[in-house]
Amino acid sequence: MAILEWQNLIFVLPMLAAILYILLMTLGFFWEGSGDVDAGHDFPGDGGHDVGDAGHDAEAGTGGHGSHVGLFERAFGLLGIGKVPISIVCLSICLIWGAAGLVLNVILGIETMQQNILFAALAAVVGARAVAEGLALVLPREESYHTPQAELVGQVGEVLYEVTRTSGTVRLLDPSGNLLDLDCRIQDGTGVKAGTKVVLQKYEPGADVFFVRQWAAVGETTIDKQP
């Protein structure tokens, strides 16, 4: 089959790999932040800082290494790495390279393979850059942070599901603006109904639950912050 010839496989395989990765990610086989693509920090803008830091470190050591890192930094910037997660850039390159190469093989024929490869590579670079620029407009420019659980003690939330001695959920906004649904309990009483304002009184790390009590008045400060 013509599709299995090397002239087509060099375009088909990267495209299939990208499609497979997207399918696996959709099915939940990869989790952002677990290290599959993020490799530590995969937030928009981090890639540029990481490369830049590497460049400064190299320049502090030897001038030759610094110049090489500077070239890599410019190359990464050309591809849009640092504007969006590197996984998106890689997927864009594979998909655009594969699609452009196959189209060129059909239109121009395999007799012009060198020209087809050159045009496909150019399309992949320009296309990946365009995708990165477009997504950078919608992706957040700053990292989002989550407040550590223990530091939520003293925050006021609203009961989502009735809180009893054995179950319950409280919803609140943490200081970073994240909407959280927390597993909560009461230490005594008959339960706190949904819709009631409560204050997080104590956090139990072992059980990963908060103990709450009904929020009685603004400015109430008698909060137990035992670990």
pLDDT at 78: 64
pLDDT at 182: 92
CATH of 149-214, one of 3.30.390.50, 2.40.50.140, 3.30.450.20, 1.10.10.10: 2.40.50.140
pLDDT at 37: 37
The 3-class SS string of 74-121 reads HHHHHHCECCECHHHHHHHHHHHHHHHHHHHHHHHCHHHHHHHHHHHH
pLDDT at 35: 39
Taking the chain (227 residues) in runs of 10, the rounded mean pLDDT of each run is 77 90 78 40 41 42 48 62 77 91 88 90 89 76 65 92 92 86 89 92 91 71 41
pLDDT at 63: 46
pLDDT at 79: 65
pLDDT at 147: 75
Cβ of 164: how many Cβ atoms within 10 Å?
14
- Domain ranges for the chain: 2-45+83-136, 149-214
